[in-house]
Structure 1
Amino acid sequence: MTGEPGDVARDVAGTATEDRAAPPVPLSRNRGYRLLWGSQALSEFGFHASMIAFPLLVLALTGSGAASGLVMGTIAAAQMVAGLPAGVLVDRYDRKALMLGCEAAQAVSAISLVIAVWSDTATVPHMVAVAAVFGAAAALFEPAENAALPVLVDTVQVPAAVSMNTARASMGQLSGTATGGFLFAAGRFVPFLADAVMHTLSFIALLFLRLPKRERPAAPPGRLVHDMLTGLRWVWQERRIRVTILCAVVLNLFFSAFYLVVIVLAGTRGVPSGEVGVMAAMLGVGGVLGALAAPVLHSRLGAYRAIVAVFWALTLFTPVAAFVHSGYATGALFALMALFPPTANTAIMTDQLLRTPDELRGRLTSVLALACGAAGAAGPALGGLLAQALPGDRAILVCSAGMAAAAVLATVSPTLRGLSPNPPAGNRPAAA
């Protein structure tokens, strides 16, 4: 592509020179960003409350673990299948309308499940259909939100906005997962009723969101596959984006494998299930704190040093798990390790969003989500193989070696060294 990242943001925002001289509106007073962030805080709470209740509901109604796996697998499969087409739709059509459609579809689907459970008519095909809607909506909403972000906030605020979105996701997962089990105990339909209410409130909030108008390319029929391939080619041809996506994939792969290996090792060591739950919760707590610290770390370190520091930190902390036997101590280690990835995520997403033309941002996000999702799915499989083939401590060391190899490559990469230390200043979102 031509032009610098600042030029892209300026072209999208279409702001005047005198406006660029003024200080940006803080995120806390940015009406558009607050609406988007708050609506998704509600939505993600409801989504994760449903996710923890879904397998419990299937097991309660059918007693089949296979049926439970089918329903949960449908969510992941729908996200994977809808990923690339979702990016094309985000680049073609009105992003606010797509986000509203996602919230409405999830609210209606959840209500249909509430009615079915309440009337004792819920079936596995119905639950599979609801799961497919949830997965497809999540796959469509994420690129729409990420593509809208650079036109809602000032360029220099993109790292803070990305990290706040990461913190919101972690908080939604923690609160929703913790609450969903209690809601299910109150009534089988209650978690899904809460989900429907959250998505409805999110839909209402998004009605008041105003996005700057943008020039959208014509959408000739039958060009969906062509446009998907265009996005893939563009991502592949942009060396900096290609390398940063590779970094994210490697990090997801080995960290997911390491996480499963540690869980399996805890079971073989006789760690009580309550302590295992604390381990998982501490990972979320560390993620929230890391996301809040990410803007400061990214600002002080810059993109290249932030990415490299995260790789080396995880490489050094990973082997410690082989020598820790207490579930609580392992949870503390998880929390410490989870502090670092949000900084790398902030550095990667900021550089990619500002480097990508507005008409390709949806496809960029969908490609990144698809790649990281595939790595997140392959990681547990790799971890399972390592845990079966090797003693637990050796399996952990293999994961650490993989991270170390990736850290060395990231450190010596001339492409990563060329990343901008910080995003360019002075570009404003268009007034809505």
Structure 2
Amino acid sequence: MHNTTPPATPSAPPARRKVPMLQPLRHRRYRLLWLSNLLSNLGTWTQTFAAAWLVASISHSTQATALVPAASYAPMLMFGLLAGVVADAVPRAKLLFAVNAFMALAAAGMAALAASGAASPAAVLALVFMMGSGSAFMWPAWQAAMSGLVQPDEVEAAASLNNLSFNFAAAAGPALGGALFVMVGAAPLFLFNALSFTGLLLVYLDWMRSGGKEDGQAQRPAAAGGITLQGLRTGLQAAWGSASFRRLLRHTVCIFGAAIAYTALLPLFVRDVLLREGGAFGSLMACVGGGAVLAAFVLPELRARFERRHLLAGAVAIFGAMLLILPLVRAWAVLMALSALGGVAWSTMVTSLNSAAQLSFPSALRARTLSVYLMAMALGQTGGSLLWGAAAELAGVPRAMALAGACLLLYALVLLRGAAGGRQCNL
């Protein structure tokens, strides 16, 4: 799965013509990758639903269910900076082929485990961790490479297309999984994810055979000295040496650390509070994805009207309010509407923080500094999953959700206070 927002090009003129969203599809390799990635995203979101509900079904432990997102994001925290160095040092077509092949094998392993009837929470979490490890090495390379497949003035349109692909899959995958889980079980859903990597692997193989060219130019050789400790140090120094980037990292950890409560606790909320089955869980996840798809169409207008920090603060406040209200509601239509609204807010938070991270450094450092940003996101999501799982164990799922919502509302005030202070930064 590639949640892709190709980096903006800092050297591009500030005033340029508006590019239609579909225009980047005229580039053959980008078009093939986009279509293949859409299928892979659909497979990954189907598996995301299946893994979470499978653990919730075979374990009564609140903490075990909350560990599913933690197992997915922890590898980025552990390997993120190394992944950025590797992405800057290894031809990206070869790297992307290798990590996607590894993820396909891990998904096939999950299918075999589920089909055997011997699935345990620990085994499922271990395979989710393996999938997350592949994603950790994929994300910096993918984000750094994709802008080379389109023209500079098409980067924003490509970003919109990629987000649309990811969010469409986020809506369709859980809905499909929820409908099929009761009928066929988890194994076929995991197998579908394994097979969904086929298109990407074929495109990467063709890319490798063509010499790894990006935008008509040969793929740049590996960085001098290859993968070194100095490369790791350079990425950290560049990221930590910027006051505005440190502030961005703090926002990322705090916001995602609280917002992940929805993902971590939703299976438990459906199972223990709503007393419903996997189809209901998949439907609510699909509503979040549907809201994110809607965001792709409304965000351009919102960006034209509001500064990035104000837009981010509003999204954080909306997501926090959703988490506060959700435990009080039992009407299904209202639950779906709240989840869809949360999807709009989630997409706004992700794109605002991601675009700020991509605009912070030049291309030569982009993969490594993006990996630091992704590590901050992983820190928030991993730590938050553990925190809200423990809170739900102690105080119950509704109270844990409400507390996370209150934290987000407070942080929205922090963001607005920073904006009132007139800070000049990407956020």
TM-score using structure 1 length: 0.74
Which residue of 2 is the match for residue 282 of structure 1? 287
Which residue of 2 is the match for residue 166 of structure 1? 163
Mark the runs of 5 or more structure 2 residues left unpaired by the alignment: 1-6, 208-212
The question of 1:211 aligning with 2:209 is answered no
The question of 1:145 aligning with 2:142 is answered yes
Offset of residue 91 of structure 1: 1.1
1:167–1:288 contact (8 Å) kept in structure 2: yes
2:306 partner SS:
helix
The superposition leaves residues 133-153 of structure 1 with CA deviations (integer Å, 9 ceiling, x where unpaired) of 533221111111111233334
Matches within 5 A, 1:190-269: 190-208=188-206, 210-212=213-215, 213=218, 215=220, 218-220=223-225, 223=228, 225-257=229-261
Provide the C-alpha distance between the structure 2 equivalents of 1:251 and 1:350, rounded to a whole number of angstroms: 16
Provide the C-alpha distance between the structure 2 equivalents of 1:128 and 1:270, rounded to a whole number of angstroms: 25
Which residue of 1 is the match for residue 386 of structure 2? 381
C-alpha RMSD of the superposition: 4.3
1:295–1:343 contact (8 Å) kept in structure 2: no
Q: Paired residue for 1:84, among 81, 85, 92? A: 81
Matches within 5 A, 1:320-399: 320-321=325-326, 323-387=328-392, 395=400, 397-399=402-404
1:113–1:130 contact (8 Å) kept in structure 2: yes
1:194 partner SS:
helix
- More deviation in 266-275 or 284-293? 266-275
Mark the runs of 5 or more structure 1 residues left unpaired by the alignment: 11-16, 422-432
Provide the C-alpha distance between the structure 2 equivalents of 1:155 and 1:103, rounded to a whole number of angstroms: 27
The superposition leaves residues 252-307 of structure 1 with CA deviations (integer Å, 9 ceiling, x where unpaired) of 12222356567766666555446555333322221222234333333443423322
1:83 partner SS:
helix
Relative to structure 1, is the Cα distance of residues 153 and 306 closer, same or farther in structure 2, using a 3 angstrom cutoff? farther
Q: Which amino acid letter does the alignment assign opposite residue 237 of structure 1? A: G
Provide the C-alpha distance between the structure 2 equivalents of 1:86 and 1:205, rounded to a whole number of angstroms: 21
The superposition leaves residues 119-170 of structure 1 with CA deviations (integer Å, 9 ceiling, x where unpaired) of x799999988865553322111111111123333455554443343333223
Which residue of 1 is the match for residue 3 of structure 2? none
- More deviation in 187-196 or 146-155? 187-196
Q: Paired residue for 1:42, among 32, 39, 42? A: 39
2:170–2:285 contact (8 Å) kept in structure 1: no
Provide the C-alpha distance between the structure 2 equivalents of 1:59 and 1:271, rounded to a whole number of angstroms: 13
2:171–2:289 contact (8 Å) kept in structure 1: yes
1:78–1:136 contact (8 Å) kept in structure 2: yes
Q: Which amino acid letter does the alignment assign opposite residue 214 of structure 2? A: L
TM-score using structure 2 length: 0.75
- The size of the alignment, in residue pairs, is 404
Relative to structure 1, is the Cα distance of residues 110 and 352 closer, same or farther in structure 2, using a 3 angstrom cutoff? closer
Q: Kindly, what percent of the aligned residue pairs are identical?
A: 25
Provide the C-alpha distance between the structure 1 equivalents of 2:150 and 2:256, rounded to a whole number of angstroms: 28
- More deviation in 347-356 or 105-114? 105-114
